[in-house]
Amino acid sequence: MNHETAGHCVAIQTSFEIKNLPFSEIPHQSNLFIEYQQNPLSLKKFYPSIVESPTQIPQKISEVLENYQTDRELLCNALETTNKSFGAGEKTLENIELLRKPDCVTVVTGQQAGLFSGALYTIYKAFSAIKLAECLRGKGHQAVPVFWIAEEDHDFAEVKKTFVLGDKSEPAAVAGGLSLIEIENTPRDYTENLPVGAVKLDETIHETIGELLKSLKQTEFSGQLKALLEESYKPGETYSTSFAKLLTKIFSKYGLIILSPLDKNLKSLSAPVFAAAVKKADAIREKLLARNEALKAANYHAQVLVEEDFFPFFLIDENGKRLALKKNKNGKIAAKDSKREFELDELIEIAENSPEKLSPNALMRPVVQDFLLPTVCYFGGAAEIAYFAQNSVIYEVLQRPVTPILHRQSLTIVEAKHARTLKKYDLEIKDLFGGLENVLPEIVEKHLNRETAQIFAEASEIIDSQLDRLDQSLSQIEPTLAKNLATRRRKILYHLGALRTKFHHAQIRRDATLQRQIENAFSALLPHNALQERTLNVATFLNAHGLYFIDWIYEAIDLDDKAHRLIYL
């Protein structure tokens, strides 16, 4: 199968239905993100290299290549070594060879090394980069996709667990019901504050894989999923290497290059940008403080808190722990939870000669990434887009071209059984945002017992009308009686509403099928009351559909479409 495409970065002709849902109709989206999606050029102050669509990315290639200074041979040698250790296929190794050429750029994305790949958006990020690289090649530009594992992060709580959609096991559960099942793994000798890439799996990973597989319904693809996980997640692997091996297998035919920033060779290549940032740390801090104020003045939020003691790096101590560095009142740089202090010159020397002892923070990381790689574009989520509104000033201080950021593809997978439920009860995905407690009563009144619902509506209207008449009469006789009526009116309507709610619950209890179908739809489509992609692990769908699911997602990717997209399988 040939995956090269030319022209716009659109979806391949698919056999399944795709619908769009604008982010403006999805709750809890930030003003900055909505504006970025709808009117990006209005934010040029915060995003100097902003583009309106992926079709404009080729305009950035010459600037990237002119400013790229990293030794490609050393870079690609390191990438070849690590990707071979992950089991890279022919397509990935070909892309690494292509990256050695002086006119090749990278399309980059990245994510923390979540358990079993973490949430679904990890998969969507990777395919966004893959698809744009293919589109650029289709237009005659040399480009390859790179996935940067954020393995230096030490927030283990974010990566140690994931969620699958499995059969309910509670005795009182409705037959055939689904529930979110949390799968977690913490090695027995886990030490806090270690970079995730240094956390090693132990024998407990076997139990965790077993728990995941037991949670899922057995299908013809369960064996394939079991092999996929067991081949990637083994005792002795780290959270990062197992994550990399799993992604390598999933994207084997798409040529995705995996980058591990903890690699010593890549750390050495990063030394110049580390040293430059340490030298200019004060200027970076002042620019970030000013940028945050500018964002607030424009009624946008600053994603990352920047304070007067800000420093752009963490220290990796002799025990491998990642400790925040802060500028103290004495003008020195102090390591958090440690008595160690450094003069700026000491840190410059460390950056130049022992860069493995430093780790960039969230705002500095993209700058390091784009120093190592000839990055023409980065795909991120809404939070990362907010980061870039802040950290563009770091690029400017270090005299680096600011990398454009595009929002990754955002998808909800709607399987046939849940599509039927939505159709049966005249629901759209956006109706679910109101919550289960609001959707069920509407279904009862529209589909289960319209007659009783109508009686409640009429009773409410009649009572309200008669109380209005009584209020007018009492107001003429004695105003205090009217005030007393207002209090009692609220109680009357409250009790009528409470009775109506009990009617809803009673009706739902009589229809176990409805209850099961609606609860299942919420679990599958809006787990934790958030978009599916932010919670569910890809294992749910690999178990149901096998690796065909990966190809379906590839086919559905359409980078010209900025909306959230509903994929009906």
Residues present in the chain in total? 569
DSSP state of 200: B
What residue type is assigned to position 92 of the chain? T
Query: For residue 173, what are its two tokens?
Result: 């559960």
The string of DSSP codes covering 351-394 is: HHH-GGGEEE-TTTHHHHHHHHS-EEEEEE-HHHHHHHHHHHHH
Note the pLDDT of residue 512.
75
What residue type is assigned to position 499 of the chain? L
Q: Is the distance from CB of 122 to CB of 159 less than 8 angstroms?
A: no
**Tens digits of pLDDT across the chain (569 residues):** 334 433 456 666 667 899 999 999 999 999 999 999 999 999 999 999 999 999 999 999 999 999 999 999 999 999 999 999 999 999 999 999 999 999 999 999 999 999 999 999 999 999 999 999 999 999 999 999 999 999 999 899 999 999 999 875 544 344 456 789 999 999 999 999 999 999 999 999 999 999 999 999 999 999 999 999 999 999 999 999 999 999 999 999 999 999 999 999 999 999 999 999 999 999 999 999 999 999 999 999 988 889 999 999 999 999 999 999 999 988 899 998 888 899 999 999 999 999 999 999 999 999 999 999 999 999 999 999 999 999 999 999 999 999 999 999 999 999 999 999 999 889 999 999 988 878 877 777 776 667 676 777 777 788 878 888 887 888 888 878 777 877 887 888 787 777 777 776 767 676 777 788 888 999 999 999 999 999 999 999 999 999 999 999 999 999 999 999 999 99
Note the pLDDT of residue 176.
56
What residue type is assigned to position 277 of the chain? A
| Radius of gyration of the chain measured on its C-alpha atoms | 28
Which phi and psi angles does 156 have, rounded to 5°? -65, -30
Rounded CA-CA distance 90/252 in Å is 8
DSSP state of 201: P
Beta pairing partners, 142: 104
What pTM was estimated for this model as a whole? 0.90
Rounded CA-CA distance 485/86 in Å is 75
Q: Is the distance from CB of 555 to CB of 10 less than 8 angstroms?
A: no
Q: Is the distance from CB of 428 to CB of 419 less than 8 angstroms?
A: no
Q: Three-state SS string across 1-54, please? A: CCCCCCCCCCCCCCCCEEEEECHHHCCCCCHHHHHHHHCHHHHCCCCCCCCCCH
Residue keyed to tokens 């990362």: 384
Note the pLDDT of residue 480.
83
Listed in sequence order, the residues at least 6 apart from 335 whose beta carbon sits closer than 8 Å to its beta carbon are 315, 317, 323, 324, 325, 341, 342
